[in-house]
Structure 1
């Protein structure tokens, strides 16, 4: 329990760090709330005075009553203005704070190591940035709107009642702790439940994102029933968490209303006795009854706010956990920009594993001369893609070093290192935008002629021309184009930049054989004078490679060109013979 309280206080402290940037609006909100409360508490006084001037039939001071009603109207008008200022200020605080939190969360995602994304589902991360921040926003807005006015109303009402009658005020003060006890009892039990609800919602979002993204695979393998069962299990857990959280939070209002009724009854009883004894007038009693309502109403609102804040803090703790994740290793202050790359790459005594328990790359050594074409082949899990991740510095080596142009890649900026590579992967990625936007991603200042030349070189120009608006056609990440057309656009993107080094990871896996022949010609021109790493590529490309690295269990077990490796009749020859039927030279070398 102490740990939970400490976690809540720490989360609240982090929230206040964001809020303090908008202290002028905070001061304005508190000031407007104070004005609202004072004017609201002044109205019952005026009403009580008006009642006292209605003595009996035929003895009503209509002039004074009318004058009092005019004052009440003016007070209400200023109260409304103060409430509007307070609400505007609270909206500014809440939504600007949420904007800052989301911006920082998205910035953190950009610098998180890929390991974080590998260990967390995309849907769960999306749920934190979108759904959890929305819940946090709602709780924060309600908190500022009702908490300020509620607290000031309670204090102001007590002060006004003390100036009128100490005895009646004492009745109110004695019953009040019961309401606070009820609210505190419920609040302690709702935070954990709201946190479980938030976590279950994140799991549900992740599952939905996965199932929608892989709907074709789900249907192809008849996985619908299993997917439904998994979804039902998470959905049931979410329903249970939500029902428990809502059940306890819904107890707040009726419980505090019961206590409020006790306060109202106590004020009415003691006040009536005071009127009979001549201590106060009937108008003053009406004023006290009005204060009793105004005094108890904030307890209902604050108890509701406390419940909502429990949910908001639970969601905030999840988004702050993302923001506070350890980023990728920062670049040193003396880091340089990688310029004039000649394409020489050296890996010396490289050790790397994704987890300490499962060793992968062990004492890996490789020396690539400028302009060489290096093919990397081997069975699944041998470390081919891992080598690419290390070359691009998506992951850092555990031991050893990787040098480009005789410079350790940890001594140069990641931006300049990755800018020296052109990368075409088996998995295509396009963003929502025009065809042109997707092509110029690596070279935003490219001219129209350069764009079309790159598209012609990759054989994408012909299908782009057939689109409704050509290069201005808007596409989405998943819709509108075939997988092969998406891959052609990714190849065009690299064709446009023509960096000094290339990485082709199953770059033509989704392209038909005829188009692949044209692409291979384009690749041959593009690779001239450029260091190229070809991962698990098709046989025609592997045959043309200067060096073929045969990997197994993170180590190079054989090295040479296609002909010499076949003559050795070793691991590569077995891999070749097991994957190719006689005469089918255009088949793919698969992982």
Structure 2
């Protein structure tokens, strides 16, 4: 996937993204970082075409996303965002939503990779438990159900925008390891709440005020002592080790 000269603004007189050039190689994990308001979420929402660039183009295999039919786009890009929506249906049906022909083994495999299998087994009827009835889930658990839903689809591109923000640090690291396991040609684009969990990404792209100000492998950026290194130091100073500003957020099992 390639972004070429991408510009975008919600209003005509104010651009949120300005001249983004970015190549997302197949089989890699790219992490987008930057301060609040830098354009991270806007950027990742262009990939599933929640919005289209006002200038420039986004292509996959040389084809502009705007030329893809909606059905083909859904087969190309899957996404999990911080605010997830679950159906009032069984856990298994929620996970299999994107791939209706998925069998039970496919569902369980996806749940294991999303670090939610053990929790599902604790529910009154396991995978048959119904969200909002006999399946009460915390925010982090709901996010992991949504992540498990995205995995069986096996789309070439997977977009994660704060998709494990409600998870504890250990769970988030486990999920990230599962995503960075050999995935063939799948391209993963992620915005992470905790910078420590993206240190094994193939590429870090730092945005500031809608512009790419730095890019490279995490270790290289840290050793270069540039913008990303300063950003990480500030982030670690602001958030004590092991703390989680989202901890304790629960949804009582009700779908959003």
TM-score, length-scaled by structure 1: 0.39
Deviation at 1:562, TM superposition (A): 1.4
Change (3 A) 1:348 1:463: same
| 2:207 matched residue in structure 1 | 551
Question: Contact conserved, 2:6 with 2:55, CA < 8 A, in 1?
Answer: yes
| 1:490 matched residue in structure 2 | 146
CA displacement, residues 470-525 of structure 1 (integer Å, 9 cap, x when unaligned): 22212239x82111211121111122222222112122211123323332332222
After superposition, the CA RMSD in angstroms is 2.5
In the TM superposition, what are the counterparts of 1:510-529 in structure 2 within 5 Å? Answer: 510-525=166-181, 527=183, 529=185
Change (3 A) 1:363 1:425: same
Deviation at 1:527, TM superposition (A): 4.5
Question: Contact conserved, 2:48 with 2:79, CA < 8 A, in 1?
Answer: no
In the TM superposition, what are the counterparts of 1:38-437 in structure 2 within 5 Å? Answer: 345-437=1-93
Distance in 2 of aligned mates of 1:575 and 1:392: 28
Distance in 2 of aligned mates of 1:588 and 1:533: 22
Aligned counterpart for 1:469 among listed residues 97, 101, 125? 125
Deviation at 1:586, TM superposition (A): 6.3
Report the number of matched residues.
Answer: 245
Deviation at 1:394, TM superposition (A): 0.9
Report the secondary structure of 1:572's partner residue.
helix
Distance in 2 of aligned mates of 1:428 and 1:355: 27
Deviation at 1:541, TM superposition (A): 3.5
Report the secondary structure of 1:544's partner residue.
coil
Change (3 A) 1:569 1:459: closer
**Would you say 1:438 and 2:99 are equivalent positions?**
no
Q: Which has the higher strand share?
A: 2
Deviation at 1:557, TM superposition (A): 0.7
Question: Contact conserved, 1:538 with 1:589, CA < 8 A, in 2?
Answer: no
CA displacement, residues 66-120 of structure 1 (integer Å, 9 cap, x when unaligned): xxxxxxxxxxxxxxxxxxxxxxxxxxxxxxxxxxxxxxxxxxxxxxxxxxxxxxx
Gaps of 5+ in 2: 247-256
Deviation at 1:545, TM superposition (A): 1.4
**Would you say 1:453 and 2:118 are equivalent positions?**
no
Distance in 2 of aligned mates of 1:456 and 1:398: 40
Aligned counterpart for 2:187 among listed residues 509, 516, 531? 531
**Would you say 1:571 and 2:230 are equivalent positions?**
no
Distance in 2 of aligned mates of 1:373 and 1:588: 24
Gaps of 5+ in 1: 1-344
Deviation at 1:457, TM superposition (A): 2.3
Report the secondary structure of 1:393's partner residue.
coil
Change (3 A) 1:481 1:582: closer
Q: Which has the higher helix share?
A: 1
Question: Contact conserved, 2:38 with 2:208, CA < 8 A, in 1?
Answer: yes
CA displacement, residues 401-454 of structure 1 (integer Å, 9 cap, x when unaligned): 111111111111122123222312211211211112211110011111211222
Distance in 1 of aligned mates of 2:151 and 2:144: 10
Deviation at 1:581, TM superposition (A): 3.9
Larger Rg: 1
CA displacement, residues 232-284 of structure 1 (integer Å, 9 cap, x when unaligned): xxxxxxxxxxxxxxxxxxxxxxxxxxxxxxxxxxxxxxxxxxxxxxxxxxxxx
Distance in 1 of aligned mates of 2:225 and 2:76: 37
**Would you say 1:506 and 2:172 are equivalent positions?**
no
Distance in 1 of aligned mates of 2:244 and 2:207: 17
